[in-house]
């Protein structure tokens, strides 16, 4: 039984195809979950009235009315598409709108009572300004799936890749992803350069973690890879591409975040190069 029963998705108002909603609806169906669509009014692209210079009360009121009408159309279209996705997938849906006042705080609050948050990897992702997938993970503690733009999800989950470095963050992410892992045909538990930290991973790198996942019903295989000097994110993405995975799972910032902000890191590199849906957790 899925542990994800409330899934929130930030609707991208700049995407006329609402691709992120299709992905969220598909996943909600897999999990028999309630789907919450969050529409950020502040993310709505400016219309022609935003660049119009007007004078006089009547002209100003007309400009305001046209903007309000455009906002109402956008909200209605997003809500209707969410309802259509719910009907198609047979899941219950809920539509929420973030107005401009305190929208960042509202975005965090609306993520608080969910089991999972889904965000599209677009500049106009639907998130308010100053809200990022990382902020949701850190402030709310809920796992986040970031979906690449244009991603076409197969109905059946083929493969999942878990980036395993034997840290608390990696274990949390692996546990948070159990729902997805148990639905997948197979899961690869990837350990990179285990010989560099002898004893950290046990006698057989990744074997204990793989057995733990298998007891939950996952078809799991531990895989050790050498980096040969390549960045860790490059090794992960190479394996993900080779295996055509449907999800990459990783713990966010297993090193101190302040250090990673100064020197970069795997989490930051992965989030700036989304090629497969990425679940991050901490």
Contact between 185 and 219 under an 8 Å Cβ cutoff? The reply is: yes
Beta strands in 77-139 (DSSP E): 93-98, 116-121
pLDDT on residue 124: 57
pLDDT for the residue 249:
95
Q: What's the CATH code of the domain at 53?
A: 3.40.50.620
Asked if residues 112 and 255 have their Cβ atoms less than 8 Å apart, the reply is no
Q: Average pLDDT across each block of 10 residues of the chain; the chain has 282 residues. List them in order.
A: 86 82 96 93 59 58 72 88 96 88 68 88 65 76 89 94 89 92 94 77 76 91 91 93 96 57 63 91 83
Total of domains in the chain: 2
Among the candidates 124, 147, 170, a domain finishes at 147
Q: For position 51, what pLDDT does the model report?
A: 46
- Which of helix, strand or coil describes residue 108? helix
Residues 6+ apart with CB under 8 A from 139: 108
Domain presence at residue 152 = no
140 and 170 together in one domain: no
pLDDT of residue 61: 67
In a shared domain, residues 72 and 133: yes
Provide the domain limits for residue 250: 159-281
Answer yes or no: is 154 within a domain: no
- Got the DSSP string for 183-210? HSSEEEEEEE-GGGGTTSSTTTTTHHHH
Query: So what's the pLDDT on residue 168?
Result: 86
164 and 273 assigned to the same domain = yes
Q: Of 147, 177, 212, which marks where a domain is finished?
A: 147
Per-residue model confidence (pLDDT) at position 13: 77
Q: Which of residues 147, 173, 195 is at a domain's end?
A: 147
Q: Are residues 10 and 142 in the same domain?
A: yes
Task: Classify residue 35: in a domain, yes or no.
Answer: yes
Q: Are residues 207 and 271 in the same domain?
A: yes
């Amino acid at each position: 039984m899925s542990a994800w029963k409330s899934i929130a998705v930030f609707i991208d108002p700049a995407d006329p195809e609402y691709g992120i909603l299709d992905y969220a609806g598909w996943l909600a169906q897999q999990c028999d979950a309630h789907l919450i669509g969050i529409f950020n009014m502040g993310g709505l692209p400016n219309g022609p009235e935003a660049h119009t210079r007007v004078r006089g009360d009547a002209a100003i009121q007309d400009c305001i009315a046209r903007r309000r009408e455009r906002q109402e159309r956008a909200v209605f279209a997003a809500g209707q598409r969410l309802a259509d996705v719910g009907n198609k997938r047979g899941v219950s849906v809920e539509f929420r709108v973030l107005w401009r006042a305190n929208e960042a705080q509202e975005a965090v609050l609306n993520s608080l009572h969910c089991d999972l948050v889904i965000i599209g990897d677009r500049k106009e992702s639907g998130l308010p300004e100053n809200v990022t997938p990382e902020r949701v993970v850190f402030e709310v503690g809920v796992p986040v799936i970031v979906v690449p733009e244009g991603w076409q999800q197969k109905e059946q989950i083929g493969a999942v890749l878990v980036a395993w470095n034997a840290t608390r963050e990696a274990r949390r992410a692996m546990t948070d992803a159990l729902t997805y892992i148990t639905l997948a045909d197979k899961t690869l538990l990837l350990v990179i350069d285990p010989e560099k930290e002898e004893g950290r991973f046990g006698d057989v790198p990744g074997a204990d973690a793989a057995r733990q996942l298998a007891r939950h019903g996952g078809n799991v295989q531990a895989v050790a890879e050498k980096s040969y000097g390549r960045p860790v994110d490059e090794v992960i993405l190479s394996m993900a591409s080779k295996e055509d995975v449907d999800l990459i799972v990783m713990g966010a910032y297993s090193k101190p975040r302040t250090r990673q902000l100064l020197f970069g890191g795997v989490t930051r590199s992965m989030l700036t190069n989304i090629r497969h849906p990425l679940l991050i957790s901490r």
